[in-house]
Amino acid sequence: MSSIDLNPPRGMRDFLPKDWVFREKLMQVFNDVSKTNGFLHYETPVVDSYELFERKAGEEISDQLYDFTDKSNRHISLRAELTPSMVRLYAKNKESLPFPAKLYSIGQCFRYERATKGRKREHYQWNLDILGENNISAEAWILSTAIQVMNKLGLNENDFQIHVSNRALLSDFLLSIGIEKERHSELMIIIDKKDKIPAEVMKEMMEEIKIFSSQIEKIIEFLDKKTLEEIRPFVQKDSLALQELEHLFAAAKALNIAPYLRIDTSIIRGLSYYTGIVFEAFDTNKEFRAIFGGGRYNSLFDRMTGKDIPACGLGFGDVVIEELIASKFGRTETFPGIQVILGQFEDALQGKALHLSAEFTKNDISSDMLLCSLPPKKFFTQANKRGAKFAAYLAPEEAKENTFVLKNMESGEQKILPLEDISSILDFIKA
């Protein structure tokens, strides 16, 4: 018989139980923090129509969609992100959902591209969105929620920083130095690379697209500004974009998250649907890719559904945060422990062991069982390897008295207890 390739498909991951421990905790934190901040959970399919994900604005993201034709010749794609499906869901069900609404979801997303550090062909992403709210405190609320997640994972303002900008601000500035709107896109692609390439190379790239050197000087100067006060002279006095950033920082101060935020006018967020404030979180040393990112996308609903709903949101993937946490705390290498493991010396005693496990279940004690009979040495070795806190062993001598051995695997303390005396059993386990 020919054997199959045991590797998962390119860029996809298998998770061993020990690998999943972290992800399970991460998702638990995502869920808990979303709920305690008023976000409602929704789910959408892993596949959706190709049309939903396709970008019409000349972007070539469509090439990276994992798409196929189904048996009825429908053009289907695995989701590359959660936002389009969420937009579809909200536009369809708006009347039965709150308005404005806070929504969240955690889902596996796929993209067909070369895997690199921090990017696979598949990842889990947490999405937070606030829909129907123009007030900039929505952005602050989302950032605060994400920061709570980071704090629960043991990371604080010394570990990461959120770089904040406003696309409209950059746009206003470029207009003010005489660069017309049609040229902003190609220029923003260059500005987005600011931290990746040397300043000289960036200048050359700008020269290539016919930006005057006097303009380049001003752009570089603008990109170096780190505070709102420094930016003020570069834009008009009544700049709405600047007011939005002021509003965000005021709200951040009130939410006690100001230490996490910094102005970084080079943040662009690709060429996607963002219209206003944009942000990306980086580890302090900028060793890794962005941990999470997002911003305001006020025209996406209108473009996709014809319904004019302002929105802002955030996407937070599992890959970079795992790398960051592994570098700070190391990787988890253990199984999650079970409270009690049961076993028996011979098959005749298995009924009693099974019955005892049912008692544990009834009392909310997690239990595992070695289903084949084992001599004590092997049983306790197995109990130890599986990380059980207690081991319950049914052996002939005790069974004659209708008792069994219950051992604390950490302290080594051991008791012979009657099988029916549930309260004593629970006392020993809970002590």
Burial of 180 (0-12, 13-18, 19+ CB in 10 A): exposed
Q: For residue 418, state whether it binds RNA (rule: CB under 7 A).
A: no
For residue 122, list its beta bridge partners: 110
- Residue from 44, 135, 151, 414 in contact with RNA (CB under 7 A): 414
- Stretch in the footprint of RNA (CB under 7 A) among 24-32, 110-118, 217-225, 418-426: 110-118
Q: State the nearest-atom distance from the C-beta of 379 to RNA, in Å.
A: 7
Tally Cβ neighbours within 10 Å of residue 398.
19
- Residue from 38, 98, 270, 418 in contact with RNA (CB under 7 A): 270
- Stretch in the footprint of RNA (CB under 7 A) among 5-13, 173-181, 229-237, 363-371: 5-13
Q: For residue 272, state whether it binds RNA (rule: CB under 7 A).
A: yes
Tally Cβ neighbours within 10 Å of residue 208.
10
Q: State the nearest-atom distance from the C-beta of 52 to RNA, in Å.
A: 13
The HSE-up count of residue 18 (CA atoms within 13 Å, CB side) is 8
Q: For residue 56, state whether it binds RNA (rule: CB under 7 A).
A: no
The HSE-up count of residue 160 (CA atoms within 13 Å, CB side) is 30
**Which lies closer to RNA via its Cβ, residue 7 or residue 423?**
7
Q: Are 376 and 344 in contact (CB under 8 A)?
A: no
Q: For residue 393, state whether it binds RNA (rule: CB under 7 A).
A: yes
- Residue from 29, 52, 172, 315 in contact with RNA (CB under 7 A): 315
Q: State the nearest-atom distance from the C-beta of 367 to RNA, in Å.
A: 16
Q: Are 251 and 137 in contact (CB under 8 A)?
A: yes
The HSE-up count of residue 140 (CA atoms within 13 Å, CB side) is 20
DSSP state of 410: T
Q: Rounded to whole angstroms, how far apart are CA atoms 220 and 174?
A: 12
Closest CA to 273 of 62, 102, 59: 59
- Residue from 12, 46, 57, 240 in contact with RNA (CB under 7 A): 12
**Which lies closer to RNA via its Cβ, residue 114 or residue 237?**
114
Instruction: Using CB under 7 A, list all residues that contact RNA.
Output: 5, 7-12, 59-61, 64, 80-81, 83, 109, 111, 113-117, 119-120, 123, 189, 196, 269-272, 315, 375-378, 380-381, 383-385, 393, 395-398, 405, 407, 409-410, 412, 414
